[in-house]
Structure 1
Amino acid sequence: MTSRSADPSHTPDEIAEMLVHLGRAARGEDAAARLTPAQWTGLRFFARANRASRTPSAFASFHATTRGTASQTVKSLEQKGLLTRSRSDEDRRSVRFELTSHGRTMLRADPLRHLAHAIERLPDRQRAALSAALPAVATDLATMRGASAFGTCGDCRHFAGRDGGGYCACVAAELTPAEIGQLCANFAADTTHTTDPEETT
């Protein structure tokens, strides 16, 4: 029987609890913050989402909540002057949201910044492994729960890289370099390859 001290690995249950703990710890200063945890999540989402995903319904899917609850969060951010709405160019019946300058300033006080700094201090190899593992876990969890998965172009089967940008087959549109790193509600995980962190070292 292998002793615990000889095997430094953690069980899936322990890793899951650690992830939950990190999420709670990262929100620890929210009690004194000007936004609720849901409002911070909304602000981050609309800052990172691509044009087609900056909608209340996409935010509801991302936040794993009801459309009504998501709409209330979006409305509160709008009332605080952190978001502004506009009609979609493709569908005038739908609306999209953008961060205001006040919203971008508010993100500088994001409670997650300490967690981001801690991740930044990890050795390159560990950070690469974490970067490769978390999207795969998130996609698998969404699949098990029948929910929408979110991700970025580099891990999506609809994406084809091109010089100076890329192409999305899902929406049949050219993408700028800035758009490639944004969250997308039309994300479909590319299961034909996986990133091996050994290759990044």
Structure 2
Amino acid sequence: MSDDLSPDEIAEFLVHLGRAARGEDGAAALTPAQWTALRFFARANRSSRTPSAFASFHATTRGTASQTVKSLETKGYLTRMRAKEDRRSVRFELTEAGQDMLARDPLRHLAQSIGRLDCAARDALARALPALAVDVAAARGAHAFGTCGDCRHFSARQSGGHCACVAAELTPDEIGKLCASYAAGEDQLLQLPEDQKDIP
């Protein structure tokens, strides 16, 4: 296969990989939307574990997102928690059954394949994919998601970090979590070649 794939061909490969990774027969226990929600609540930080944040992440309506979240709660994979700082706010946490279900995630084979890439290829993917997500979100006028450690609101501290957006201290394990208030830093944006920077 040629190394000179066009952007259209690369996009098709990404879509194909996503479909192939979740097309395993044993994944029928959950719908694709339910798998996405389960992964989201496993990876999101405290303030982002809400149906509205999941709706934004999944690019769907709040009503549809709420139905997906409710179905996982009914199955016993998510549990509803009241936020300590605002008892009117509801957050969701994975239950033990939800954690067990994630071990059967149909994406695990894709993750294992990525793990077998050499370090240079894996690092390139780790840099390129978040930048693509930010760029596509901007093109569609949507909100981008990313991790606290890559966010403009984040500053490192000896004990972990600090989020200027919500004025909260972050523990080390929270820094790699997905955040609904994410704002991409300069190193998370697509870098244009010098000959394209002046093109409107």
**Structure 1 stretch displaced more, 52-61 or 147-156:** 147-156
Shift of residue 90, structure 1, vs aligned partner: 2.2
Percent of residue pairs identical: 72
Write out the 4+ residue segments of structure 1 that deviate beyond 4 Å after TM superposition: 192-196
Q: CA 1:195 to 1:80, structure 2 compared with 1: closer, same or farther past 3 Å?
A: same
1:19 maps to which residue? Answer: 14
Q: Which residue of 2 aligns with 1:129?
A: 124
TM-score, length of structure 2 as denominator length: 0.91
Task: Output the CA distance in 2 between the equivalents of 1:98 and 1:17.
Answer: 34
| Alpha carbons 1:30, 1:37 under 8 Å: kept | no
Partner in structure 2 of residue 111 of structure 1: 106
Partner of 2:69: 74
- Counterparts of 1:129 and 1:164, CA distance in 2: 29
| Structure 1: distance between partners of 2:182 and 2:150 | 8
Structure 1 residues 33-72: aligned runs within 5 Å = 33-72=28-67
Backbone CA RMSD of aligned residues: 1.8
SS at 2:5 equivalent? coil
| CA shift digits 1:15-43 (9 cap, x unpaired) | 11110001000011156521111111010
AA of the residue aligned to 2:144: A
1:143 aligns with 2:138: yes
| Separation (CA, whole Å) in 1 of partners of 2:33 and 2:109 | 18
Q: Kindly tell me the number of residue pairs found equivalent between the two proteins.
A: 191
SS in 2 for 1:174: strand
Secondary structure at the counterpart of residue 109 of structure 1? coil
Matched-pair contact (CA < 8 Å) for 2:146–2:178: yes
Contact 2:134 2:189 in 1 (8 A): no
Structure 1: unaligned runs, 5 residues or longer: 197-201
